[in-house]
Amino acid sequence: MKSTSHTQPPASPVWAWLTVALAGIAAPALAMLLLANTPGSAPLAFVGGPILAVGLMGVGMIAAAAGGRLWVGVVLALLTGAGLILLARALGMPALPHPLSIALAFVIASLSFAARGALFARSALDKGWWIAVFVVAGEASVVATALAQPGMLPDWLLALLPAQWASVAIQTALTGTGTRAASSALIALAGTAAATLLVARLLPRRWPYLVMFTAWLGFSALVYHQPAPATPRADIQPSANTMLRTPSPLATSSTPTLSTLASGPLT
């Protein structure tokens, strides 16, 4: 029997790579530009977690599925994350308070997303990138809803999504005390990456899928019961009276006012 480790990656159409650029690069960059140029909108540092997480997911997962290689998704996702950070800095985001924490969150999230894309490529061949597109669209819509309407979605739903895990970990590094405070999210991302790679390695055996789904539910429970501490964030919707809301802990919630932030260091 021919080893799957030497199987050639599926050929992907140009549309697959255009989708990578659109979903993982153009969309997050456009979101940053719109927020930076909208009077009264939230500072980029307060909404950077969700935007960066969607960028990493879009590039990492779809690129790995389109290229059929784990490393393709990881490398392109990390380059995208670095590029989006540079864009945010150019648009006025302050210097990163925890650069090592950001780097750690980027590496683990990129690996987790790329692992899923690689599995799609192995299991669905040249159609794998389509599966990745649908998964990215679904998770990105939930993350965007949690950002725009804090408290609208239940905590248990947010705890199920790796994209939200990445969002929490990155946001904690941007405006909190570093990714150690979001250790449950990082553990969940790393654990699901390992379980996903196990499934991809053992294909066409089906029993590893049980391991993967069990791990996913277990890590979701970990994130739900040990959420990251509240980090300062602002509402992206401008308001005449206030720009702050109090979303759920999994949506990086319970925020102080902007005047409080201006008067002292973050805690």
pLDDT score, position 252: 46
For residue 47, the 8-state DSSP code is H
Q: Please give the structure tokens belonging to residue 16.
A: 């697959």
At a CB cut-off of 8 Å and minimum separation 6, what does 54 contact?
A: 24, 27, 28, 136, 140, 143, 144, 163, 167
The tens-digit pLDDT sequence of the chain (267 residues) is 444 444 555 556 899 999 999 999 999 999 999 988 877 666 888 899 999 999 999 999 999 999 999 999 999 999 999 999 999 999 989 889 899 999 999 999 999 999 999 999 999 988 999 999 999 999 999 999 999 998 899 999 999 999 999 999 999 999 877 777 889 999 999 999 999 999 999 988 888 899 999 999 999 999 999 998 776 655 555 443 333 344 455 654 433 433 343 344 443
pLDDT score, position 262: 38
Three-state secondary structure call for residue 41:
coil
Query: 166 to each of 65, 195, 234, 237, how far by Cα in Å?
Result: 19, 17, 19, 23
pLDDT tens digit string along 126-150? 899 999 999 999 999 999 999 999 8
Virtual torsion, Cα 139, 248, 232, 42, nearest 10 deg: 60
Virtual torsion, Cα 132, 44, 193, 2, nearest 10 deg: 40
Q: Is the pTM of this model over 0.85?
A: no
pLDDT tens digit string along 10-54? 556 899 999 999 999 999 999 999 988 877 666 888 899 999 999
